[in-house]
Amino acid sequence: MIEAVLFDFGGVILTSPFDAFAAYEAEAGLPPDTIRRINATDPDTNAWARFERREVGPDEFCSLFEADAAELGFTVDATRILDALHGDLRPAMVEALRRCAARFRTALLTNNTVPMAEQDGDGPMAEVAALFDVVVESSVVGYRKPEQRFYETACERLGVAPGACVFLDDLGINLKPARAMGMHTIKVGNPDVAIAELEDVLGLPLR
């Protein structure tokens, strides 16, 4: 029986940064999925991983990311990568979250580079963050998805077992360990399709 609904932020509640990455790749004449390839190389120790654990700041990230790219034979402007991280809220997904929050425990599981408490003030992102019972951020806890303890932390703070959770993320690599722990997982590509699947799991209209 589901007791808690867990959401990723970018690519689920927000539009996906991968769309902005693709636009930059096309503009810069880079092969499709270049940014994904860079991020997938040495994924626990590369610039991206260190940035999400807040081991480095933006300037050092840019230098390290451009060095990671150069090792693979690419020239990139890492400042454009940072610009791509600012997505827009998906109203339908926010409404689904509101309805979930009225009936279930909710958590936000996000790999981010700056804690949400240091962003946005009292703006719309803060209003959405306030809908969650628990927020787990890589930049705060110092570890990140897909590390198992990230999911364990969410469950501990919610007071629920993994098998009582459903988790939505746009990356299969982040869903795999959650599924192995017993969570029901939903991969978010088309948000309308994902919401429909969540409705089926919860037996609750979310639109």
Q: For residue 121, what pLDDT band results from cuts at 50, 70 and 90?
A: low
CA 7 – CA 110 distance, rounded (Å): 8
Q: CATH assignment of 4-15+87-202?
A: 3.40.50.1000
Convert 36-58 to b/e letters by CB count within 10 Å (16 or more is b): eebbeeeeeebbbbbbbbbebee
pLDDT digits (tens, 9 = 90+) for 44-53: 999 999 999 9
**9: Cα within 13 Å, side-chain hemisphere:** 25
- Pick the closest to residue 25 from 66, 101, 103, 77 (CA basis): 77
Domain ranges of the chain: 4-15+87-202, 17-83
User: Whose structure tokens read 């020239």?
Assistant: 75
Q: For residue 120, what pLDDT band results from cuts at 50, 70 and 90?
A: low
CATH topology of domain 17-83: DNA polymerase; domain 1 (1.10.150)
Distance, first Cα to last Cα, the chain: 22
pLDDT digits (tens, 9 = 90+) for 56-93: 999 999 999 999 999 999 999 999 999 888 888 999 99
* pTM score, whole prediction: 0.89
| Arithmetic mean of pLDDT, 171-189 | 97
Does residue 106 surpass a pLDDT of 90? yes
SS3 state at 108: strand
